[in-house]
């Protein structure tokens, strides 16, 4: 790392788990790049993480928040004190190849049309498969169900080099994503209403609507443990995923599309509840119910988001829809048995 103003600020939101953070920082120290800083945004950890960082990693900038602001709030506060031209938002349960950062900078630097880029993200425990959170570039259908090159719902593909091409995508994973600082601020940063899950999709949607592109650079490689902060099948994870997805569909589309696509999406939510009930997955059922009540009881939050979104958008829904999968991937996956990105790719143009 250099003492000159850094080109890249690596921002790690953190809440408890010293051993997890230790491995991440240890990996970052092996990064071969001349100009970067590490900022840990501690969301009021109760395990002594703050003192551990001060004692063991004095070169790390520690931001001590007064409470847990979640991924979105932690990252936003880290961005406020960042000195780099590029921000990298990085989960604390990751390790990285030594040249990961240089590849991301090379992809984004000097390209005015690109706002954000992510690396290829593989599973930490089985490095032959793509990670759940991002794979090799995120995509989404028109009903706001996300998927990725290498992951469709819970189906994770083996990495056989099939997604090793740098390419535009719709969203970059918050597990590890680089974004130009000035555009991050112009886009309104992460929406802290989201707290965690899908806030990066919402940010990338805004960047896309502003006329910019989001890319994946698979030469950069990160390994992710996944679901360390929130267990995969917990009520809270289901709730945040469904609520935040609904929040986007009612906030980011035009009013006619919000009502049309939102109505269909709510119908799909009831189908999902019925399916979860059959599977006796009551955390999923209660998560969906809670998300629907939240959306119904917060119309002014949605109206406020719509106003902010419309103030920055330059592209119409017609342009955005061209970037999305037109078929409902939840039906294609569960009814037709399609399990890969390639099953959807003909509709993602």
User: What is the mean pLDDT of the segment spanning 13-41?
Assistant: 96
For 340, the 3-state DSSP assignment is coil
Phi/psi at 110 (nearest 5 deg)?
80, 5
In a domain, 308, yes or no: yes
Quote the pLDDT of residue 226: 75
In a domain, 93, yes or no: yes
Which among 38, 35, 17 is positioned nearest to 89, based on CA atoms?
A: 38
Residue ending a domain, choose from 201, 224, 247: 224
The yes-or-no verdict on residue 339 having pLDDT over 80 is no
Residue ending a domain, choose from 204, 224, 244: 224
Residue ranges making up the domain that contains 91: 8-224
Strands (E), 172-300: 176-180, 213-224
Terminal Cα-to-Cα distance of the chain (whole angstroms): 40
- 44-63 pLDDT, tens digit per residue, is 999 999 999 999 999 999 99
- 305-323 pLDDT, tens digit per residue, is 999 999 999 999 999 999 9
- 1-11 pLDDT, tens digit per residue, is 445 657 999 99
Query: Is there a contact between 64 and 85 (Cβ–Cβ < 8 Å)?
Result: no
Tokens of residue 90, six digits? 């990085």
Answer left, alpha or beta for residue 269, where phi above 0 means left and psi between -120 and 50 means alpha: alpha
* Rg value, the chain, Cα: 19
In a domain, 338, yes or no: no
The yes-or-no verdict on residue 342 having pLDDT over 80 is no
Concatenated DSSP letters for 47-84? SSHHHHHHHH-TTSEEEE-SS--HHHHHHHHHHHH---
């Amino acid at each position: 790392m250099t003492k000159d103003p850094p080109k890249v600020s690596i921002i790690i939101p953190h809440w408890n788990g010293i051993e997890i953070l230790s491995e991440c920082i240890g990996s970052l120290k092996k990064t071969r790049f001349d100009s970067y800083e590490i900022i840990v945004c501690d969301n009021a950890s109760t395990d002594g993480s703050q003192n551990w960082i001060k004692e063991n990693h004095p070169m790390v900038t520690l931001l001590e928040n007064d409470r847990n602001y979640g991924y979105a709030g932690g990252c936003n506060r880290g961005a406020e004190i960042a000195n780099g031209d590029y921000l990298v938002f990085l989960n604390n349960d990751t390790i990285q190849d030594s040249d990961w950062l240089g590849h991301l900078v090379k992809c984004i630097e000097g390209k005015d049309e690109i706002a954000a880029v992510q690396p290829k993200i593989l599973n930490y425990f089985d490095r032959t498969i793509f990670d759940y959170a991002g794979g090799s570039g995120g995509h989404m259908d028109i009903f706001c169900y996300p998927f990725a090159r290498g992951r469709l719902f819970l189906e994770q593909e083996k990495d056989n080099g099939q997604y090793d091409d740098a390419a535009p995508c719709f969203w970059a994973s918050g597990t590890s994503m680089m974004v130009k600082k000035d555009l991050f601020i112009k886009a309104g940063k992460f929406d802290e209403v989201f707290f965690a899950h899908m806030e990066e999709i919402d940010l990338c949607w805004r960047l896309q609507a502003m006329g910019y592109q989001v890319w994946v650079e698979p030469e950069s490689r990160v390994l992710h443990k996944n679901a360390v902060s929130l267990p995969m099948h917990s009520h809270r994870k289901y709730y945040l995923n469904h609520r935040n997805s609904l929040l986007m569909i009612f906030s980011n589309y035009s009013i006619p599309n919000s009502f049309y696509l939102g109505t269909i999406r709510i119908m799909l939510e009831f189908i999902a509840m019925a399916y979860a009930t059959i599977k006796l997955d009551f955390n999923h059922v209660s998560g969906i119910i809670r998300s629907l009540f939240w959306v119904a009881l917060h119309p002014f939050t949605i109206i406020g988001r719509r106003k902010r979104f419309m103030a920055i958008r330059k592209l119409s829904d017609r342009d955005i829809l061209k970037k999305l999968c037109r078929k409902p991937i939840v039906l294609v996956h569960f009814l037709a048995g399609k399990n890969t990105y390639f099953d959807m790719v003909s509709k993602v143009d």
